Amino acid sequence: MSDPSPGSSRSAALSDIILASARNVHAVLDGRSLSDSLADTPATLRAPAQAVSFHVMRQLGRARAFRSELVKRTPPNPLFDALLLTALALLDAAVHFQHEAAADAPERRYTPIYAPHTVVDQAVTAADGQRQLKPYKALLNGVLRTFLRERPGLLERIQNQPEAVYNHPHWWVKRLRRAYPAQWQSLLLAANIPGPMVLRVNRRRAQVGDVMRALTAAGIGVADAGHDALVLTQPKPVHDIPGFEEGWWSVQDLAAQQAARLLPLQSGMRVLDACAAPGGKTAHMLERADVIMTALDADAQRLEKVSLTLTRLGLDAQGRVDVRCADAADLSSWWDGTPFDAVLADVPCTASGVVRRHPDIRWLRREADIARTVALQRTIASALWHTVKVGGHMLYATCSIFPEEGERQASWFVQHHSDAVRLSAPGQLLPLNDGTGVTHDGFFYALFAKQA
């Protein structure tokens, strides 16, 4: 799920876009993922509503702080509250880019910007067109106009509130501050910069140079990032990029592309991708070596994407891949007892390392989720270790930046498995801006070899 161009929102009525976005915000605040909610958004509104919804998720802490200052009680109608938050986030951006930001500020590329009076008018129009929102029309109008008049003072009043400053839950801010005392602020700020669209060239179907030339000929800005990876200057729908249907490439972040390179793969090996959906790492391993692959996942619906991906990339032929639905930790339900040469344990986690791509994650997670994922990760990793042959390898991976799901888990694993030897691997990859942009998502990798 990548950020569409905010400019695409000009073709639909802004009132409809604001209302559709408010429904998405309401869904997230009610515990539903933004991806699922967007799937229910009418196709004609989906791209512009996604741009606005992403913006609100990235500015939700600030918008809630404004709302708390302007409305002393949380509005009793959840959809109206979401509409108010959406309008406040858009208004704040409108004023910022009208009066405060430089004309060439890089964040203009991914921020939906409208004239302040247009936002107020269209938000009120959105409320007026809905029976359950119409009673709040005057309140909405008054709050938004008060915001425009009093914004400088409001900014002063919220400047010491962590959620408003960093747009993450307070517990999230505290944990990162404790874990990364020199980098916590940079991590939080970087999480609000959308990640670039990265392609992984399928070396069985195309060469990097050929793909680059095809993209350049199509007017798509692209840079070679090494190791079969290409970074686009601007994200685009996959069907607008040459070579998608032909299987020349897949979309995969630079951090995720390291998994297949870290496992020491050779042709003929038996390999297990234990939490395979949606199939990016499965495909990458098959692209790199002629292995006999078992792709396992507990989610049947997401597992279908693995098969579709392998078919598109031409990697499903000759019986090299066994795609099956099962709980990785329940060995009796799927394992035949024949050990694997290499196992990828890309275990479930809080996904705290990919919030720049999925900005709703920070608001969906609860602090108690960390303890639950830690317990689940230990269960899965310990079970999978039984399936690794002596002399084989297991790569433990998470898309998290919380140490409890990364370094502490790796330390726990070697302490509780006497036959595990930890080998060289990147460990914690932090999604920090290195001066040229945030280069990769947050990820953790630990590689273990099994000794006799």
All structural domains of the chain: 6-167 (1.10.940.10), 196-252 (3.30.70.1170), 258-450 (3.40.50.150)
pLDDT of residue 126: 97
Give 98's DSSP letter: I
Judge whether residue 449 has pLDDT over 80. yes
CB 46 within 8 A of CB 8: no
CB 263 within 8 A of CB 340: no
Of 6 and 220, the one with more pLDDT: 220
Closest CA to 52 of 426, 359, 311, 327: 359
399/404 Cα distance (integer angstroms): 12
pLDDT of residue 75: 84
Lowest mean pLDDT among 369-373, 428-432, 434-438: 434-438
Judge whether residue 122 has pLDDT over 80. yes
At 8, the pLDDT band (50, 70, 90 cuts) reads very low
Residue 399 annotated as catalytic: yes
At 100, the pLDDT band (50, 70, 90 cuts) reads confident
19-28 pLDDT, tens digit each: 999 999 999 9
E strands, 265-375, are 270-273, 292-297, 321-325, 340-346
Judge whether residue 437 has pLDDT over 70. no
pLDDT of residue 7: 45
78/71 Cα distance (integer angstroms): 14
Judge whether residue 159 has pLDDT over 70. yes
Judge whether residue 436 has pLDDT over 80. no
Closest CA to 356 of 187, 147, 181: 187
pLDDT of residue 1: 57
310-359 pLDDT, tens digit each: 999 999 866 689 999 999 999 999 999 999 999 999 999 999 999 999 99
Tokens of 191: 């999480």
CB 94 within 8 A of CB 114: yes
250-274 pLDDT, tens digit each: 999 999 999 999 999 999 999 999 9
Mean pLDDT of 47-64: 97
171/33 Cα distance (integer angstroms): 20
Of the chain, the percentage scoring pLDDT greater than 70 comes to 96
Mean pLDDT of 221-244: 95
Of the chain, the percentage scoring pLDDT greater than 90 comes to 90
The C-alpha torsion from 16 through 19 and 20 to 23, rounded to 10°, is: -170
The pTM (predicted TM-score) of the whole model is 0.93
Active-site hit among 275, 325, 349, 399: 399
CB 252 within 8 A of CB 198: yes
